[in-house]
Copies of this chain bind each other. A is one copy, B any other.
Amino acid sequence: MRILVSNDDGIHSPGIYALAEELKKIGEVTVVAPATEQSAVGHAITMKVPVRVSKYYKNNEFFGYAVDGTPADCVKMGIRNIMVTPPDVVVSGINHGSNTATNVIYSGTVSAAREAAIMDVPAIAVSVTSHDAREFGYAAKTAALFAQLITKHGLNKGTLLNINVPDLPESKIKGIRLTKQGRSKWDDIYEKRQDPYGKDYYWLTGDLVELDNDMTYDQYCVKQDYVSVSPIHFDLTDHEEYNRMASWEIEKI
């Protein structure tokens, strides 16, 4: 299996290292990841300025390619410019922090996997639920397992799996559940402060409002100490509203 690995925390992060090392046990791994942290960049791509690529070494060994761009840039670059043959699967992560519910929208980790899905390559995004996570072994094994399951069962063209793993010792994790994107979201505001020169600045702050209360939703599932696996796609059409809007008779406008 040929595997492209990327992330949004940057090529230097412990999460991507643990992921790449685990995936090397089941396939040929190419790492193409942002040179610097790119959290919450969503599905940004770099068009107005050029990007640079450099080789990144870890423990004196070549680890992968560092791109001074976004996660989506890295996946495009990896598939089109760096790998000679397209990969069988793209795995993005391991993200430091949850990518459940509306976080999926802001996530660079998920966007890297979604870019692969747009390019018709099956993909996985994998996150551990704490920003302070230190242990990535179980999440890495879960990603490897699902890379193999995708190979066995196939995946809809344009679909990716969004995996969230509770930040717990393996023995405390209760199982794995198939879920949908939850509806929990951030209630946030820009906190107003003053700089040392008396000028105002604003800093985003807020709390996640838990709006899901059953195991079919990703955010609730990880709170119950289960791994959450959601199939995600990039058709944003609200088909229900599309049908309802037929009554608007907009053809006659």
B-contacting residues of A (Cβ < 8 Å)? 37, 39-48, 50-53, 72-73, 76-77, 80-81, 102, 104-106, 111, 114, 118, 145, 149, 153, 155-156, 158-159, 175-178, 180-181, 185, 188-190, 192-193, 199-204, 229-242, 244-248, 250-251, 253
Contacts and interface: CB of A to CB of B under 8 A. Distances in A.
B42 A251 contact: no
A62 B66 CA distance: 44
Contact of A241 (B47, B159, B192): B159
Top 6 A-B pairs ranked by shortest CB distance?
A: A42-B43, A42-B42, A231-B241, A233-B238, A50-B201, A180-B237
Contact of A118 (B73, B81, B105, B180): B105
A235 B241 CA distance: 13
A149 B248 contact: yes
13 contacts: A41-B41, A43-B106, A44-B44, A51-B203, A52-B199, A105-B234, A145-B253, A156-B244, A180-B239, A181-B235, A231-B238, A231-B245, A232-B236
